[in-house]
Amino acid sequence: MKAVKVREDLFWVGAIDWNVRNFHGYSTVRGTTYNAFLLLDEKITLFDTVKHGFEEELLKRISSVINPEKIDYLVINHIEPDHAGAFVRVVQAIKPEKIFLTRNARLGILAHFHQESFPFEEVKTGFEVRTGKRTLKFIETPMIHWPDSMMTYIPEEKTLISQDAFGAHYASSGRFDDDVDTCELIQEAAKYYANIVYPYSPQVNKLLQTVKEMNLEIEMICPDHGVIWRKNPDKIVALYEKWSSYVCDPMVLIIYDTMWKSTEKMAYAVMEGVFEESVEVKLCKLSVADWTELMSDVLQSRGLVLGSPTLNNGLLPTVSGFLTYMKGLRPRGKVGAAFGSYGWSGEAVKLLNQYLQEIQAEVVHDGIRVKYVPDEKVLSDCVELGRKVAQRVKELCSA
Ligand code: FEO
């Protein structure tokens, strides 16, 4: 297990987790990586560690370049266990002179590992540390991804070590964006944003503004998951600008589930209406959906149409479960509408409309509910609903 040279004196020394398929509920269909970086200078610095279980892989990769005991500084950009799970083992192995981290990171590390005697040194945005020929500039990024998070910028290398931000759960033999399939990479980066970063979009937007104000020249972005952006770092920055501003694509996503196919018939009729307006449409039945994948479509779709039959005065459990997950990720900027069938009480459409309002969607139709089975008139109304959503999506996306 060897280190990979990233730039002069900078090495990737992380771990590849090819087989992880469930990352606290996130379906990591392509595995992931836990990236750590080693900078050789007068003061040798390690940036982040790895998940517990991958300590030896990290230490072997470091050992392919230097004796780990020669490391002087450890920078902890983020304390979530996928990056700090190996913290104690690594500190014991490298015996650093200093461990740089934010105040929240120190409190978090102590709450996890209870190691008061380690040589912690708290840093804030604007703090700088010289390693010899280079400078480490710290930028606090609270809530991207946890309250403790920060990034480290190395101006002499025009390199940003960005912890979770700009990452992707994507295991590959290539370490760089130009080593892998671009479409796959962007797909995984979008999925990562939608399922991890989306709730913190206002903070991302502010961070991007700060980076502009600081005039940071960035030739390379080294995130803690997935590949290093060396060929086209501007691409992922532009996507983060788009996603964090809730700019969506002209697409309508119909998310529904069904008991006896009545709500499904309505879903297909809504889809026909969107087709008629020549707007891209995706239809997703929640009983067979992968929530993680679906959130990428939520991130990117301007239109969001929800369907559920009424069950026990509420929504189908598959629908209510996904809606709870989606609400926590705080989607914004949607054009919405709802539909569903019922037998006797029929609350589902009202509940779906309330949900759309809670996520601040623009609701463009009162919603359609039908007792038992939709007839031709109801299906025709569903087509009209689809058309109405698609028309508004076109208006907003062309504005
Ligand atoms: Fe990859 Fe928030 O940890």
Residue 342, H or E segment:
strand 335-342
pTM for this model (two decimals): 0.97
Q: How far is the CA of 163 from the centre of ligand 1 (A)?
A: 7
Please list every protein residue whose CB sits less than 6 Å from any atom of ligand 1: 78, 80, 82-83, 145-146, 164, 224-225
Q: What is the DSSP letter of 48?
A: -
Nearest to 254 by CA among 184, 337, 341: 337
Where does the pLDDT of residue 211 fall: very low under 50, low under 70, confident under 90, or very high at 90 and above?
confident
Q: Whose CA is nearest to atom 1 of ligand 1?
A: 164
Q: How far is the CA of 236 from the centre of ligand 1 (A)?
A: 18
164 classed as catalytic: yes
Q: Using one digit for the tens of pLDDT, what is the confidence trace for 89-102? A: 999 999 999 999 99
Helix axes 87-94, 55-63, angle to 10 degrees: 30
Share the mean pLDDT of the chain: 97
Where does the pLDDT of residue 399 fall: very low under 50, low under 70, confident under 90, or very high at 90 and above?
confident
Torsion of CA 344, 346, 347, 348, to 10 degrees: 130
pLDDT value at position 282? 98
Look-up of token digits 């979530």: 80
Where does the pLDDT of residue 343 fall: very low under 50, low under 70, confident under 90, or very high at 90 and above?
very high
Q: How far is the CA of 394 from the centre of ligand 1 (A)?
A: 36
Question: How much of the chain exceeds pLDDT 70, in percent?
Answer: 100
Q: Are 45 and 136 in contact (CB under 8 A)?
A: yes
The C-alpha angle 327, 348, 268, rounded to 5 degrees, equals: 90
**In sequence order, which residues have a C-beta less than 8 Å from that of residue 35 and are 6 or more positions away?**
12, 14, 48, 167, 222, 223, 224, 225, 226, 228
Q: Which of 48, 57, 148, 164 is catalytic?
A: 164
Q: Which atom of ligand 1 is nearest to the CA of 146?
A: 2
Q: Using one digit for the tens of pLDDT, what is the confidence trace for 20-38? A: 999 999 999 999 999 999 9
Q: Using one digit for the tens of pLDDT, what is the confidence trace for 230-286? A: 999 999 999 999 999 999 999 999 999 999 999 999 999 999 999 999 999 999 999
Q: Using one digit for the tens of pLDDT, what is the confidence trace for 131-190? A: 999 999 999 999 999 999 999 999 999 999 999 999 999 999 999 999 999 999 999 999
